[in-house]
């Protein structure tokens, strides 16, 4: 009895120590959500956290290997243009807070600070990708919008890399449809894009609102993955493969027209991005825009040009089925 009393706490302590050591050695994951139709994720941590949850499915729990890896959840005003203080400014400040060891709204903090040698990876969904492009492309004093409304330079210094999931790097044809008042056929888009509000206006696919018009190549690499599961109705408004809200040309940050049609075989490779450097392909998943961020659809994953799946020692041919798993599970393979 005495042995048992001593052993159980000892094992628990060892388990805690093991988890803590692992967390200390792995990158802290910083989650940046996407477009919102209200300000809830900005005003409520619970809303920001729940962005990544669908019932019992939890993107953050999965991506952090059951919370073994430390994490931080960012909440910003997803109704404002990507470049505004409550969007890019808030995200930049929160990322720096995370790297300083500060807690997010739920009390979660990175296991190591930047000063202690910690590494930090951002996982951004949808408009979160656009915001990261703006921050990381305006981090130097010679950039057009250097530190416009936040410490972009510190963000760029301290992040190791970013992973954009279904990122709206070149805007969204869903936003075009909503701002054209022709979204009757695109009803599902309303979950993310309800009206042509300010954020939506700045997520259109024309050059005057594109993040690349107002920034340089990202200072740290932005890795690209996204879904190709159509959404009935919504996908009819988007060119080529899409996740029901964002078309491939945007998810994979392609150069040229943001409305060009691409699929898994021909989506732009790493030499044909919206910037000459700083964007790299990962893979594509049979997930829609909602599945991508809540780990609710463990489905087929496909290789794409310039992606990171290896088949028998060589890059897998584009459109090869490489796995069946959620994007959150896939992220666990990357670190």
Considering only residues 70-99, where is the footprint of another protein by CB under 8 A?
81, 83-84
Interaction between residue 116 and another protein (CB under 8 A): no
Q: Which residue, 47 or 251, has its beta carbon nearer to another protein?
A: 251
Cβ distance to another protein smaller for residue 47 or 199:
199
The rounded distance, in Å, linking the Cα atoms of 94 and 120 is: 13
Binding flag, residue 46, another protein (CB under 8 A): no
Minimum distance, C-beta of residue 263 to another protein, in the bound complex (Å)? 12
Task: Label residue 218 exposed, middle or buried (CB < 10 Å: 0-12, 13-18, 19+).
Answer: buried
Candidate segments 29-37, 38-46, 92-100, 174-182, binder of another protein by CB under 8 A:
174-182
Identified binder of another protein from the candidate list 80, 220, 286, 293, rule CB under 8 A? 220
Compute the least distance from the CB of residue 44 to another protein, in Å.
27
Q: Based on the shown chain and the rule CB under 8 A, indicate whether residue 100 belongs to the binding site for another protein.
A: no
Residue 187 binding another protein, by CB under 8 A: no
Q: Which of 13, 46, 116, 140 touches another protein (CB under 8 A)?
A: 140
Which range, of 28-36, 95-103, 122-130, 143-151, touches another protein by CB under 8 A?
143-151
- Which of positions 146-165 make contact with another protein (CB under 8 A)? 146, 148, 156-157, 159-161
User: Interaction with another protein in 222-261: which residues (CB under 8 A)?
Assistant: 223, 236-237, 239, 255-260
3-state secondary structure string, the chain?
A: CHHHHHHHHHHHHHHHHHHHHHHHHCCEEEEECCCCCCCHHHHCHHHHHHCCEECCEEHHHHHCCCCCCCEEEECCCCCCCCCCHHHHHHHHHHHHHHHCCCCCCCCCCCCCCCCCCCCEEEEEECHHHHHHHHHHCCCCCCCCCCCCCCCHHHHHHHEEEEEEECCCCCCCHHHHHHHCCCHHHCHHHHHCCCCCCHHHHCCCCCHHHCHHHHCCCCCCCEEEEEECCCCCCHHHHCCCCECCCCEHHHHCCECCCCCCCCCCCCCCCCCCECCCCCEEEEEEECCCCCHHHHCCCCEEEECCCCCCCEECCEECCCCCEEEEECHHHHHHHHC
Please list the residues that pair with 283 across neighbouring strands. Answer: 225
Residue 11 C-beta: closest distance to another protein, Å:
5
- Residue 123 binding another protein, by CB under 8 A: no
Q: Which of 275, 287, 292, 297 binds another protein (CB under 8 A)?
A: 275
9's CB contacts (< 8 A; 6+ apart) are none
- Closer by beta carbon to another protein, 46 or else 146: 146
Q: Any contact of residue 48 with another protein (CB under 8 A)? A: no
Does position 265 interact with another protein (CB under 8 A)? The reply is no
Shortest Å distance, C-beta 326 to another protein: 7
Q: Which of 57, 102, 201, 319 binds another protein (CB under 8 A)?
A: 201
- Does position 115 interact with another protein (CB under 8 A)? The reply is no
* Nearer to another protein among residue 47 and residue 155 (C-beta): 155
Q: Which of 205, 225, 264, 281 binds another protein (CB under 8 A)?
A: 205
């Amino acid at each position: 009895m005495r042995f048992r009393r001593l052993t159980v706490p000892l094992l628990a302590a060892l388990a805690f120590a093991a988890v803590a050591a692992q967390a200390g050695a792995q990158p802290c994951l910083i989650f940046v959500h996407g477009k919102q139709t209200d300000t809830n994720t900005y005003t409520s941590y619970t809303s920001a956290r729940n962005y990544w949850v669908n019932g019992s499915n939890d993107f953050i729990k999965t991506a952090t290997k059951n919370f073994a890896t430390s994490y931080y959840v960012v909440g910003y005003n997803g109704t404002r243009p990507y470049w505004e203080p409550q969007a890019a400014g808030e995200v930049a400040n929160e990322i720096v807070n995370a790297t300083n060891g500060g807690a997010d709204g739920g009390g979660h903090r990175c296991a190591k600070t930047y000063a202690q040698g910690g590494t930090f990876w951002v996982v951004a969904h949808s408009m979160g990708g656009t915001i990261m492009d703006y921050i990381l492309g305006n981090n130097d004093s010679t950039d057009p919008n250097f530190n416009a409304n936040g410490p972009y330079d510190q963000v760029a210094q301290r992040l190791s890399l970013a992973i954009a999931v279904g990122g709206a790097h070149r805007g969204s044809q869903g936003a075009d449809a909503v701002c054209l008042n022709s979204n009757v056929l695109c009803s599902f888009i309303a979950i993310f894009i309800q009206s042509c509000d300010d954020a939506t206006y700045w997520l259109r696919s024309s050059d005057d609102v594109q993040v690349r018009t107002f920034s340089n190549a990202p200072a740290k690499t932005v890795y690209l993955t996204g879904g190709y599961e159509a959404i009935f109705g919504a996908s009819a408004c988007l060119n080529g493969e899409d996740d029901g809200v964002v078309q491939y040309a945007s998810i994979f940050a392609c150069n040229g027209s943001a409305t060009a049609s691409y699929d898994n075989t021909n989506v732009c490779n790493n030499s044909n991005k919206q910037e000459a450097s700083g964007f790299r392909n990962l893979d594509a998943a049979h997930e829609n825009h909602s599945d991508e961020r809540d780990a609710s659809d463990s489905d087929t994953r496909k290789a794409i040009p310039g992606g990171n799946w290896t088949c028998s020692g060589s890059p897998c041919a584009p459109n090869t089925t490489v796995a069946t798993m959620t994007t959150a599970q896939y992220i666990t393979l990357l670190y």
